[in-house]
Structure formats: C-alpha cells, structure tokens
Amino acid sequence: MTKNGIRTIANVTCIALIGAAAAMTLAGCMQTPEEKAAFAARQAAPTPVVMNATKGEAPTQSGLSHYKDGYPGFGAPLTAANVQMSDDEAGGLQKKLTALGAQRNAGTISEAEYLRRVAEYRKLAAEHGAETLSEIAN
C-alpha cells in the first residue's frame, strides 16, 4: 500500500469517527414532547396575585424587609401567607372522620344522617377556599 492510500484510509476513518461522535452528541440532546413540556412548565414564571388595599386604607407592610426607599428586600426569610393547620387540628379532623365511618359501619347512625354529614363536609371543602379568598381580599 502506498503512502497516499494509508493517508486516505486514515482521513476516511477520522471523518467517520467525527461523524459518529456528532451523531451520538446530537442523540443525547433529543427530548420527548413530554420532557419538553415538563421543562417548559418548570421554566414558566409563577402567576402573580395582586391584592388591592381594603377600604381605601394604605397597604400594610408585609413580612418582607424594606429598604429606606420603600422597596421590599428579599434577604430576610419569608413567612407563610396564612396560618397553617397544626398537627393537633389535623388529628382532630381525622378522628372525626374515622368515627363517622366507624358509626356508619356499626350501624349506629342512619345512612341518611351519614350522607347528610358527607354532603356537609363536601360543601365545606368546595366553598371554604372561595370564602377564605374573599375574606382575604376584603
């Protein structure tokens, strides 16, 4: 084999390896539509909530620290927007619901009473969020 033949084989091999490396690199960059949608959802900005001052009063200072010019500073740790349910409250509600189910299974309350209470709890669950938001807004 001549020098030119060996050089040609080496060049072809080199080009093939570069092409294979490029193909593998591009294959690693491909994403499914679900992965693209999940990535876009993570990158989307959160929806802002604007709360107006109530009854013409000046808005109160939030839990954020403020600079001298009045702009909020985000260096201080944030607090919850609302009071969270305590473990005792959650346990109490769980006991109530467990007792209601046990009474139904034991037959100590009528089916109509059980359904009335279930409807009451479902109505509370459906309306409580909207009522609380309206109280916060006013």
78 is a domain residue: no
- Residue 42 inside a domain? The answer is no
Q: How far apart are CA 55 and CA 138, in angstroms?
A: 8
Residue 18: band (very low, low, confident or very high) from pLDDT cuts 50, 70, 90: very high
* Structural domain includes residue 91: yes
The predicted-structure confidence for 49-75, as pLDDT tens digits, reads as follows 666 656 656 555 555 667 788 787 777
Exposure string of 29-41, with b = 16+ CB inside 10 Å and e = fewer, is eeeeeeeeeeeee
What's this model's pTM, rounded to 2 decimal places?
0.33
Residue 40 lies in a domain: no
CA–CA distance, 78 with 21 (Å, rounded to integer): 48
Establish if 128 belongs to a structural domain: yes
The answer to whether residues 103 and 114 touch, using CB atoms and an 8 Å cutoff, is yes
Quick one: pLDDT band at residue 111, thresholds 50, 70, 90?
A: confident
The reply to whether 125 falls in a domain is yes
Residues 41/125, Cβ–Cβ less than 8 Å: no
Total domains present in the chain: 2
- Domain containing 92 equals 87-138
As a whole number of angstroms, the distance between CA 117 and CA 122 comes to 9
18 in any annotated domain = yes
